[in-house]
Amino acid sequence: MDKPHLSVVETEATSVEHRVVRAWTEMAPFARVGGRLGSFETLRERERRFHDLLEALPAAIYTTDASGIITFFNQAAVDLWGGAPVVGRSPWCGSLRLYWPDGAPMRHEQCPLAIALREKRPVRGMEAISERPDGSRVPVLFYPTPLYDGAGELVGAVNMLVDITERKRAEEQQALMVRELHHRVRNTLATVQAVMRTTARASATIEEFEEAFSGRIDSLSKTHDLVTENFEQAVSLATLLSNELDAYDDGACQRVRLVGPPVELLSALAVPLGMAIHELTTNAGKYGALSIIGGGVDVIWSLSIEAHARWLHFEWVERDGPPVQPPTRKGFGSRLLEQVLPRQTGAEVTVDYAPDGLRTRIRVPLL
């Protein structure tokens, strides 16, 4: 991300710089000519054209004489500096204050323009921070270039400043996304390890472990896909449910019924809740209401505001299935609902093994 963006800035700066230097080169042969009115008129005309060119450019540009005294500035320089420089004075005598990228003050002799004049060489893309009179700071790239007259003597410099605020914001956003990615990868790996260990303890055979573990990882992967496809890193509750239950839907809204308002879940809640929905669906498909013809599941949810927090009330109700009996041992699904989900999300979970159908109620704060 950094290099392409920086390449665009440098390419545009180089293009602007070439136009400025070319215009000065056209004007320079007349700088030392004296005594001929026509030559001076031509010089004034080319100087006017030179200044018109600088004024028209979007980059902040000012020119100085060989000692660093300002001779011209364009409107873009005024906008960048937050005020007009003073012609006939050094920028350092006015409001210009420069800092290194780390915030340390930059001395006059360290300024890119001073370096260009002192060493008689262009300085390309030196980064600094310019402070405006109101105290706000702007990150900029400097492109000072020495200017010479027709005899090759140094007569001044043209300095171009490129505002890189947007580039810096993009870099910060990228760094934030990388940190978030690392955090999410670590959490995901920890979740996978926990799923593997718990599934292994609850499995009697390798085949049983492979089937359960593969299903859980596949569900986890689908939830991550849904979250990452969204710019806000969120997914709707209805989508999470449909992702698991669509395979059992008869198309007539009889076997699977979903009732509730639109709810967007951020990834921190969507992942564990998605796993819980997967476990409920898998259990219903193997042993519960979705394991026989005629059985069905109703999922009803609502929102409430309590103590200045939004809460999601989620209810899973199985109907017309085989008689329900409490499990003789707690498997991965039970541990996820009763231990993992409350610990990770602050949820309150109630599981009722009613004879006419499993009922699971989850009350969880929305992040």
CB within 8 Å of 228: residues ≥ 6 apart:
none
Q: Is the dihedral of CA 306, 307, 308, 314 positive or negative?
A: negative
The pLDDT-based confidence of 199 (bands split at 50, 70, 90) is: confident
Residue 217 and residue 107 in one domain: no
Q: Is the dihedral of CA 225, 229, 231, 234 positive or negative?
A: negative
| Distances 346 to 30, 169, 341 between C-alpha atoms, Å | 79, 34, 7
Residue 296 forms beta bridges with which residues? 319
Residue 8 and residue 141 in one domain: yes
Let me know: does 155 contact 149? Beta carbons within 8 Å: yes
Residue 33 corresponds to which tokens in the numbers above?
A: 């000519």
Residue 125 and residue 187 in one domain: no
The pLDDT-based confidence of 45 (bands split at 50, 70, 90) is: confident
The per-residue pLDDT for 6 is 42
Total length of the chain: 367
Distance, in Å, from the CA atom of 159 to the CA atom of 21, rounded to the nearest integer, reads 11
Last residue of a domain, one of 133, 163, 193: 163
Q: The domain spanning residue 57 has which CATH number? A: 3.30.450.20
Residue 118 corresponds to which tokens in the numbers above?
A: 């002192």
Please indicate whether residue 58 or residue 130 has the higher confidence score (pLDDT): 130
The per-residue pLDDT for 258 is 93
Distance, in Å, from the CA atom of 92 to the CA atom of 111, rounded to the nearest integer, reads 10
14 pLDDT exceeds 60? Answer: no
Last residue of a domain, one of 163, 186, 209: 163
Distance, in Å, from the CA atom of 16 to the CA atom of 39, rounded to the nearest integer, reads 27
Residue 79 and residue 196 in one domain: no
Let me know: does 47 contact 27? Beta carbons within 8 Å: yes
Rounded to two decimals, the pTM is: 0.54
Residue 22 and residue 63 in one domain: yes
**Owning domain of residue 146:** 2-163
The pLDDT-based confidence of 304 (bands split at 50, 70, 90) is: very high
Last residue of a domain, one of 142, 163, 184: 163
The mean pLDDT value for 95-110 works out to: 86
- Contacts for 285-290: CB closer than 8 Å, 24+ residues apart: 285/248, 287/322, 288/318, 288/321, 288/322, 288/324, 288/357, 288/358, 289/318, 289/319, 289/320, 289/321, 289/322, 289/357, 289/358, 290/248, 290/255, 290/318, 290/321
Residue 84 and residue 183 in one domain: no
The mean pLDDT value for 143-172 works out to: 89
Please indicate whether residue 347 or residue 89 has the higher confidence score (pLDDT): 347
Q: The domain spanning residue 343 has which CATH number? A: 3.30.565.10
Residue 187 and residue 129 in one domain: no
Let me know: does 86 contact 70? Beta carbons within 8 Å: yes
Residue 42 and residue 190 in one domain: no
Specify the residue for token string 């300085």: 123
Domains contained in the chain, number: 2
Residue 56 and residue 155 in one domain: yes
Residue 304 and residue 188 in one domain: yes
Residue 277 and residue 350 in one domain: yes
240 pLDDT exceeds 80? Answer: yes
Residue 201 and residue 235 in one domain: yes
The mean pLDDT value for 245-266 works out to: 85
Let me know: does 57 contact 72? Beta carbons within 8 Å: no
